[in-house]
Amino acid sequence: MINYTYIFHGTAFSSYSPEKVNILENHLFFINDNGIIEKIVGPEQEDYTSLLSKHQDDANFHQLEDGQYFLPGFVDLHVHAPQWAQSGTALDLPLYDWLHTYTFPLEAKYADLAFAKTVYEDLVSTLLANGTTTVLYFATVHKEASLLLAEICARKGQRGLVGKVVMDDPDQNPDYYRDADSKTAIKDTEEFILAMKELAKEVKQGVYPVVTPRFIPSCSDEALKGLGELAAKYDTHIQSHCSESDWAHQYVKDRFQKNDAFALHDFGLLGDKSVMAHSNFLDDRDAELFASTGTAISHCPLSNAYFANSVLPLKRFQAMGIDIGLGTDISAGATPSIYDNAKQAVVSSRMLEDGVSTALCAAERGVADSRISIHEAFYLATAGGGESLSLPIGKLEENYTWDVQIIDTKIASAKLPIFDAHEALDDIFQKIIYLVRPENIKEVWVQGERVHSRV
Characterise 154 by phi-psi region: left (phi > 0), alpha (psi -120 to 50), beta (else).
Answer: alpha
Give the integer Cα–Cα distance in Å for 224 and 172.
14
Residue of 14, 15, 86, 103 that binds ligand GUN (CB under 6 A): 103
In contact, 83 and 122? CB cutoff 8 Å: no
Is there binding between residue 214 and ligand GUN (CB under 6 A)?
A: yes
Contacts of 366 (CB under 8 A, 6+ apart): 351, 352, 353, 354, 355, 356
**In angstroms, what is the minimal distance from the CB of 442 to ligand GUN?**
32
Q: Within 13 Å and on the Cβ side, how many CA atoms surround 210?
A: 36
**In angstroms, what is the minimal distance from the CB of 80 to Fe ion?**
6
Closest residue to Fe ion, based on beta-carbon distance: 329
The piece of 63-71, 95-103, 141-149, 353-361 that touches ligand GUN (CB under 6 A) is 95-103
Binding letters toward Fe ion, positions 276-305, x by CB under 5 A: -x----------------------------
# residues near ligand GUN by CB under 6 A = 12
Contacting ligand GUN within 265-324 (CB under 6 A): 303, 307
Contacting Fe ion within 328-387 (CB under 5 A): 329
Element (H, E) at 325: strand 324-326
**In angstroms, what is the minimal distance from the CB of 241 to ligand GUN?**
4
Is there binding between residue 244 and ligand GUN (CB under 6 A)?
A: yes
Is there binding between residue 215 and ligand GUN (CB under 6 A)?
A: yes
**If 0-12 CB within 10 Å is exposed, 13-18 middle and 19+ buried, where does residue 362 land?**
exposed
For 32-178, strand residue ranges (E) read 37-41, 61-63, 68-72, 74-80, 132-138, 159-163, 165-166
Cα 327 versus chain centre, distance: 5
Question: Coil, strand or helix: which one is 109?
Answer: helix
**In angstroms, what is the minimal distance from the CB of 215 to Fe ion?**
8
Contacting ligand GUN within 326-365 (CB under 6 A): 329, 332
Nearer to Fe ion, 145 or 441 (CB): 145
Cis peptide bond upstream of 331, omega within 30: yes
Give the integer Cα–Cα distance in Å for 351 and 362.
14
Binding letters toward Fe ion, positions 239-278, x by CB under 5 A: --------------------------------------x-
Contacting Fe ion within 303-332 (CB under 5 A): 329
Is there binding between residue 76 and Fe ion (CB under 5 A)?
A: no
Closest CA to 173 of 248, 111, 96, 228: 96
**In angstroms, what is the minimal distance from the CB of 223 to Fe ion?**
18
Chain residues in the site for ligand GUN (CB under 6 A): 80, 95, 99, 103, 214-215, 241, 244, 303, 307, 329, 332
Chain residues in the site for Fe ion (CB under 5 A): 277, 329
